[in-house]
Amino acid sequence: MPYIHYNRIQKQKQSGWPFKKFIEKMRERAMKMKAAVMTGVGMPLSIQEVDLAEPKANEVLVKIEATGVCHSDLNAVNDATTPIPTILGHEGAGTVVSVGPNVYKVKPGDKVALSWVPYCGTCEFCVTGAVHLCESAFGPMFDGTLLDGTSRLSHNGEKIYHNSLLSTFAEYAVVPELSCVKLPNEMPLAQASLIGCGVATGYGAAVNAAKVTPGSTVAVFGIGGVGVNAIQGAKIAGASKIIACDVKPANLDIAKQFGATHTVNVTEGDAAEALRNLTGGFGVHFAIDCSGNTRATESAWNGTRKGGTVVVVGAFNPAAALNLPAGGFHRVGKILKGSFYGDTQPYRDFPTIAQLYLDGKFKLDELVLDRISLDDINKAFDSFHDCNCINVGRSVIEFSPAAPIETADKVEVQIEVTKLSL
């Protein structure tokens, strides 16, 4: 596909050709691509050819090369508030094809992992480093648009909504610049696609939110796609004892492969008592609950020592109640905190995780459970309903790789001018 680097094309203004009219026509152009479209609540996704418009200011066109199928996508399919029609998908990686005006962080040819939580950089939370608390993206995210409140997606002239500002269940995506995080060229994109959601959330829960310290003891509740990465984060942070807690024996076995030193099957007794027994009667220094179950959080609290920290990553049912002992609450000195997206700072944490993987210190290959085509996406959704399926990892949709793109120092504009009526 032709691309224009709008920041550098300014140099062509003096060449005598009708620059302004050319740019207007290029911006109006829409490309055809294959995508999986949600057309109704609870319905299988429909494979369609759709239109994708050029990126606008502060936006980037990415050739999606891999995207994970997350349980949150299934939640969106079954959610009556999801705008319809929409293209789902929020775990992706690919290659930058072109950029809109005012884009400086990436250029055509860059390998990128995508973050579904871009931030403004100027609000009170962003300027203090808590970019994960920025609210700027959530209005457009819930409305199914990009940050400017409009969509780049359509089918036969009718608007299609974006999902999580990314919509990676498609061959291409137009995304905010701040969703694009450049990765090393040697990073494989199937593995890179998983960094942007469950991997970063779990790693960040341990490293950023809990701030696990060397020699400490850690319990992780809920050994799924987030929990195993919390285990990996705790291991990297230097924890001496990492206790995996879950209801599935198979998941507990898998946890050991990712760094758990001990396991607790929470169906076989009092989990809090088990944690105390494994830590000399004190309880763990840090507990990370990835389950979304309030009973697990209660066990995590009761199994954490005085002065310890409990981090809740999983989303609770709004109707559920969290019951903690009130007696002596002020004496135990514990911290209970929620963590959204693992307190992740994408521009810091994504490249760190990628380099840890490349150095052999972080497992990502094992999280790619299956490699499928876009046509098989509904089979991946069906697997979520099978209680016997492994849920520690992702099915990854792979697309054909991007064609090589000349670097900006070799070419300013690559177009097919003969196809335009100037």
Quick: pLDDT tens for 100-111. 999 999 999 999
- Percent of the chain clearing pLDDT 90 (strictly above): 75
176 pLDDT more than 80: yes
pLDDT digits (tens, 9 = 90+) for 233-263: 999 999 999 999 999 999 999 999 999 999 9
pLDDT at 24: 46
Most confident of the ranges 27-31, 40-44, 379-383: 40-44
When pLDDT is averaged across residues 341-354 and rounded to a whole number, the result is 96
Mean of the pLDDT values across residues 172-192?
96
Nearest to 260 by CA among 210, 311, 309, 217: 217
Task: Identify the band that residue 402 occupies on the pLDDT scale cut at 50, 70 and 90.
Answer: low
Name the maximum alpha-carbon separation found in the chain: 80
Q: Residue 277's pLDDT is what?
A: 97
pLDDT score recorded for residue 353: 98
Mean pLDDT, range 411-420, rounded to an integer: 37
Residue 401: its pLDDT value, please? 74
> How confident is residue 229, by pLDDT bands cut at 50, 70 and 90?
very high
**Residue 23 burial class via C-beta count within 10 angstroms: exposed 0-12, middle 13-18, buried 19 and up:** middle
Q: What is the average pLDDT score of the chain?
A: 88
With b for 16 or more beta-carbon neighbours within 10 A and e for fewer, the 397-420 pattern comes to: bbbeebeebeeeeeeebeeeeeee
Residue matched to tokens 């492969």 = 257
